[in-house]
Chains A and B, each alone.
Chain A
Amino acid sequence: MGQLETRNLTKIFQDSGQEIVAVDDLDITIEDGEFITLVGPSGCGKSTTLRSIAGLETPTTGEVYLDGQEITDRKPKARDMAMVFQSYALYPHMTARENMAFGLRMATDLSAEEIDRQVTETAEMMEIGNLLDKKPGDLSGGQQQRVALGRAIVRDPEVFLMDEPLSNLDAKLRTQMRTELQALQQDLDITTLYVTHDQTEAMTMSDRIVILDDGRLQQIGTPLECYHQPVNQFVAGFIGSPSMNFFEIELNTQGEPTFVHDGFEMKIDEDVLTDVEGHESLTLGIRPEDIEVVKADARNAITKQVQVAEPLGEVTYVHLEIGQQQCTATLQGDLVFDAGQTLSIRFPQDRIHVFDGQTGNALRNREPPARDDIEAFAEGQVDETARSDA
């Protein structure tokens, strides 16, 4: 069992007389075996949350529960959690074997032979059996990473805590370790709390992600929920790469209902109007990959000159200026435009997000992809015409 819960978790640091609220009234419940990622920009409180759960920081107020038992004031060693640090924090004077055995030596009364057997077994699983007698200084970054993971795994804890464990690896190794770590967690089925600022890691690895900003919880949900149905403008802008485009707009209800922006006007349907009516200022959001290329005379077409095009092969990023605001569109890779070329685009109504201009809360989100369609794809029941519509 490893069900983890924080209730009203708050951590305030004192810095030369000033109070800095690192974590603000955080409630999270993590089910046994779940892989949860805490994600957010630097200084959002994600590491402090992790450290409070580990017992390395004492919460100012609020509690931490493990399997229903309060552990807020327990010492780190009494929490049955193992942590992987960004810097790995291996003991440089010990061999990989001694590093991995250290926790078992300190916290259990297993015999030396038993400890050695468990260490060897874990090392085989991590494919570092041949490195056990080397010291961290003689290992590469990726190997050190494996030893650090092995050190956590061999203790067979209730909860894994990982503080940006992949960010010191190079890009290729990071991608590889990401997959490996995910597979490992599924095998071991140990509750994992993972901290990262890298939204790709958050999206690809987690069962659910917790998005924090300024110490406050923004949203908890599956990666795709957060992507398709962000609760507010912060989440919408944080998840997704390139980021969602935002336009401050006004609603004009005289005549046909229209969103009015300095750079464009957009006639809206009845259902969009219902969602946004009664709010004075609004923000329109559209993901770059949801922008369509249309004919110049199409309804709601916005015709602008391409400022910069970035062909990546599979896709092309096109940057336009719309009413003195930057807009990025992700187009098919074979649509390579040159700077200065004229391009007509449209924001499809079923893909737009609308946020309250003051609070940032989402008033309308795009339709999430229907589950039935995906299953139909999986079973091969989709014909070509259906696919082109989708």
Chain B
Amino acid sequence: MSTQSAGLSRYGEEFKTFLSETWLGYVMVIPATLILAVIIGYPILRGIQLAFYEASLLNPEQMQYIGLENFLRLLEDTTFQGALWRTILLTGIVVSLQYLLGLGLALVLREKVPGVEIFRSLSMVTWVIPVIVMVIIFRFLVQNGFGPVNIILGNLGMETSYWFGQRGPAFILVIIMHVWRNVPFYAIALLAGMTAIPKEQYEAARLDGAGALQRFRYVTLPQISTVSMIMIILHVTFTFKNFDIVYLSTGGGPLGSTEVLATYVYKQAFEQYALGYGASIGVVMLIIMLVFTVVYVQYESAE
């Protein structure tokens, strides 16, 4: 009996210590938690709620509950389906290209090539400049008549055009902007992951008979998988919900050829004033992203 009560009192002690040592921590966390709850938690819940209502931006007070009707409409909305497909395509292509090019760049940067230090600093510029500046630069580059790209194409005797105004090229340009902006970020993150691998492991692998490709496959790749996962999840999310790059460069055009979910939500809510319908698209985006993240994290931790 005495041991049992001693055990109980020990739990009491621990609980007291826990309270006395952690209350300060909780107090410090509360303001941030409250702010997050207001600026993130509320909009999410409000957005989900809106998705089940018919609501107009012109008359936001007059909301009418309509159940799943918004979602049923989505099933028949070909513009939505096109935007969904384009968003998935864009995300897939962009993140794959970013990862492959970033990985390649990291491998180059890891070698002690002269000038790497300067390049390392310069390469982050693309990531630091504001999106609007990047879009203006790209729009200037492909301007008809005086844009450098068209001058070069013209000199080569090829077709010139304002390429953001052409259906196929506009989508490709959107991809290029995404890739151009983020590849250095991938490279720096992956490089950090690679630098953490002790060089003895590569030496051991060389003695074990592994060639350069096998060393990459069996030593480097598995050990940058966590940082890869973080980068991929971050950028799948970034790209999937990206609004500014598309909206500022093409506005979703020409003829909806670059319309993605984010621009479509914006148009529904703020041009068609269909708040509820826009919110339902937002909910679909949220679900897709959640499913993707959960599945990827599960897969990665199972590896």
Contact = CB atoms under 8 A, between A and B. Distances in A.
A100 B91 CA distance: 40
Given A89-B200, A92-B223, A76 B218 contact: no
- The B interface is mostly helix, strand or loop, or mixed, namely helix
Interface stretch (B9-17, B80-88, B201-209, B272-280): B201-209
B201 A91 contact: yes
A159 to B, nearest CB: 11
Nearest to A78: B209
B233 interface: no
Given A85-B200, A89-B198, A91-B218, A102 B208 contact: yes
Contacts of A75: 206
B214 interface: yes
B201 A89 contact: yes
A56 B204 CA distance: 10
A85 B204 contact: yes
B225 to A, nearest CB: 8
Interface string B210-252: 1100100011001101000000000000000000000000000
A371 interface: no
A199 B209 CA distance: 32
A77 B215 CA distance: 12
Contact of B209 (A54, A94, A103): A103
B60 to A, nearest CB: 53
A332 B162 CA distance: 97
Nearest to A108: B209
Nearest to A101: B208
Contacts of B200: 85, 87, 89
B244 to A, nearest CB: 38
Contact of B223 (A54, A56, A93): A93
B213 to A, nearest CB: 11
Interface size range of chain B in the complex:
10 to 19
A235 interface: no
Given A87-B198, A93-B222, A106 B208 contact: yes
A193 to B, nearest CB: 13
B203 A83 contact: yes
Given A89-B200, A89-B201, A77 B218 contact: no
Given A91-B219, A92-B223, A102-B218, A85 B209 contact: no
B208 A89 contact: no
Contacts of B210: 77, 102, 106
A81 interface: yes
A162 to B, nearest CB: 12
A106 B203 contact: no
A274 to B, nearest CB: 53
A13 to B, nearest CB: 14
A76 B198 contact: no
Interface in A27-66: 54-56
A223 to B, nearest CB: 28
Interface string A226-237: 000000000000
A107 interface: yes
B59 to A, nearest CB: 58
Contacts of B209: 77, 103, 106-107
Contacts of B201: 89-91
- Residue of A81, A85, A89 ringed by the most chain B CB atoms within 10 A: A89
Given A91-B201, A93-B223, A107 B208 contact: yes
Nearest to B199: A89
A151 B225 CA distance: 24
A77 B203 contact: no
A217 interface: no
Interface string B99-118: 00000000000000000000
A54 B218 contact: no
Given A91-B219, A93-B222, A102-B218, A77 B208 contact: yes
Nearest to A86: B200
Contacts of A166: none
Contact of A82 (B207, B211, B214, B222): B207
Nearest to B221: A93
A91 to B, nearest CB: 6
B223 A83 contact: no
Given A93-B222, A102-B218, A54 B207 contact: yes
Contacts of B204: 83, 85, 89-91, 151
Contacts of B222: 91, 93-94
B212 to A, nearest CB: 11
B218 A89 contact: no
- Residue of B201, B203, B208, B214 ringed by the most chain A CB atoms within 10 A: B208
A118 to B, nearest CB: 14
A93 B228 CA distance: 15
Nearest to A83: B207
B202 to A, nearest CB: 9
Contacts of A83: 203-204, 207
14 contacts: A54-B203, A54-B207, A55-B207, A76-B206, A79-B207, A85-B200, A89-B198, A89-B200, A90-B204, A91-B201, A93-B223, A102-B210, A103-B207, A106-B205
- The 7 tightest CB contacts between A and B, nearest first, are A107-B209, A89-B200, A103-B208, A77-B209, A106-B209, A89-B204, A93-B222
